[in-house]
Amino acid sequence: MFKRFVSLEWKQFSRSSYFQKGIAIKILLALGALYFIGMAIFMGSVGFYGIQKAMPNNDPVEVVNNFLIYWFLADVMLRFFMQQLPVLNIKPYMVIPVNRSTVIHFLLGKTSISFFNFLPLFFFLPFSVVLLVEGYSVIRVVAWFFSILFFTLSINYLNFLLNKINKVFYVLAVIIIGLGLLQFYGIYAITEPAGYFFNSIYNKPYAVLIPLLLMVMLYRVNFKFIRKDFYLDGAIAKETKEVHTQEFTWLNRFGKIAPFLKNDVRMIIRNKRPKQVLLMSFMFLFYGLIFYTQKAYQDMPAFLAFASMFVTGGFLMSFGQLVPSWDSEYYKLLMSQNIPYREYLKSKWLLMVFAVGVSFILSTPYIYFGWDIFVMIAAGALFNMGLNSFITLYGGALNRVPVELNVKAKAFSNTQGFNPTQLLIALPKILGPILIFYIPYKLINFETGIICLAVSGILGIVFTNFFLNHIEKVYQKQKYKTIAAFGEKK
């Protein structure tokens, strides 16, 4: 029966109308996956010797075990936002003599065939082979490797539950961030008890039963959770929701663009994917910690300029790049109304500018790293408002891939609304601030680079009407092609 399921899944995949359209995207994703696989294999192969050289007095296995907790916690966070859980159309199987348990086992089995489950193997398998070559105990290494495999699958099944109960995820996210802050400020080192636990699994091979039992338990919990609602009446029942009218009268002060702003705010509040994009844009605020806390980047101001632009550009980069795809389901209706195209575009621009402003206010704690860093963030915010916002809007005219808001999918693993053209549009948004800052910095000094970056953004704001008029013409020229593209069904 499993063979038949696999055959049906392949036919559904290969015969879909979007299969050929998405080949370019699939190739890009495959190349990205190969890159990460190659890096994982390389790090797994040389990791033992790198740790041995950096910490000659410590056992590399113990060092890895002490930091495994961060690996698994990061895995939980990444899976929630990026892992696309498989979907199986179960209705056809409910009216034919197919065992329900078989269908559920197949569905859960599909979750195990994920890039997130295989990636750790490409690191820990070479690392384990090196351990065996270096004379470590075969039984301990094998048990340790399988315990990591079982923990990885346990996180996979935990993610399945977290997707159904968002409140559990938010509580878990607060705990993870809290533990990270406690570790960072030296208040409580979570690595010590976690390291002791993983070292105990390595030193006592029979302890591999702990992650094995955890994996089995989470599998059974998922099985019972799915089986509970695995009935035809439950599948076809209409979902009833209480509707609350939200007027957002405070947006009326923006005049003609107020209706568009209200639509965007309602869309973000009512739909899962925009809400996840909004949450991920908030995570961009912590991007600077990668660069500002490392001494290696202090002598590379171009990278600091890059980080400063990203700190305040999270919403612009994530939400803005999908304009006008967010409105694809009712874009034809919008375009049939007697409203100026310019007002529609101005509302999108104003929303991005507002988000950059809020992000800049929230980035105030970066003053801790010095006024030079904070001034650079301010200059990056001005560049995002004045130039990156218009570059993003211009790229939207070339983006004609629809986004289905009601589809339950991950915010960033979902490739709806994505096309290779966005990669080209992203280049000036990323390289622009680096070049505008770095050239004056190299020729004159640091302050001149900051001033040039800030002035470029201010000039963009001053010439807002000029940019909007030009972008409006591009959108009007592409209007009917966009409507036709959004009307296609996948």
Rg (CA), the chain: 25
Query: Is 50's pLDDT higher than 70?
Result: yes
Nearest Cα to Cα of residue 417 among 482, 324, 351: 324
Query: Is 396's pLDDT higher than 60?
Result: yes
> Lowest-pLDDT range, 13-27, 72-86, 269-283?
13-27
- Residue 99 has a pLDDT of 74
Structure tokens at 318: 């994530």
pLDDT band at 488 (very low <50, low <70, confident <90, very high): low
Side-chain-facing half-sphere of 153: CA atoms under 13 Å: 21
Share of the chain above pLDDT 90, in %: 9
Q: How far is CA 90 from CA 100, 161, 470, in A?
A: 9, 19, 49
Query: Is 465's pLDDT higher than 60?
Result: yes
Beta strands in 391-447 (DSSP E): none
More confident residue, 68 or 337: 68
Mean of pLDDT values over 218-243? 67
More confident residue, 339 or 210: 210
Q: Over the chain, what is the mean pLDDT?
A: 78
pLDDT band at 144 (very low <50, low <70, confident <90, very high): very high
- Residue 294 has a pLDDT of 74
pLDDT band at 18 (very low <50, low <70, confident <90, very high): very low
Beta carbons of 454 and 379 less than 8 angstroms apart = yes
- Residue 8 has a pLDDT of 62
- Residue 91 has a pLDDT of 61
pLDDT digits (tens, 9 = 90+) for 62-73: 888 888 888 888
Mean of pLDDT values over 11-17? 55
Mean of pLDDT values over 130-156? 90
Mean of pLDDT values over 385-409? 76
pTM: 0.58
- Residue 235 has a pLDDT of 46
Query: Is 464's pLDDT higher than 60?
Result: yes
- Residue 318 has a pLDDT of 81
Nearest Cα to Cα of residue 37 among 116, 115, 122: 122
Query: Is 332's pLDDT higher than 50?
Result: yes
Mean of pLDDT values over 151-171? 78
pLDDT band at 17 (very low <50, low <70, confident <90, very high): very low
Cis-peptide into 56, omega within 30 deg: no
Query: Is 213's pLDDT higher than 90?
Result: yes
Beta carbons of 188 and 55 less than 8 angstroms apart = no
Query: Is 412's pLDDT higher than 50?
Result: no
pLDDT band at 1 (very low <50, low <70, confident <90, very high): low
Query: Angle of helix 115-133 relative to helix 60-82, nearest 10 degrees?
Result: 170
Q: Which residues in 271-286 are b (16+ Cβ under 10 Å) and which e?
A: bbbbebbbebbeebbe
Report the distance separating Cα 204 and Cα 137, nearest Å: 11
pLDDT band at 417 (very low <50, low <70, confident <90, very high): very low
More confident residue, 192 or 121: 121
Share of the chain above pLDDT 70, in %: 80
Query: Is 92's pLDDT higher than 70?
Result: no
Query: Is 489's pLDDT higher than 80?
Result: no
Query: Is 32's pLDDT higher than 60?
Result: yes
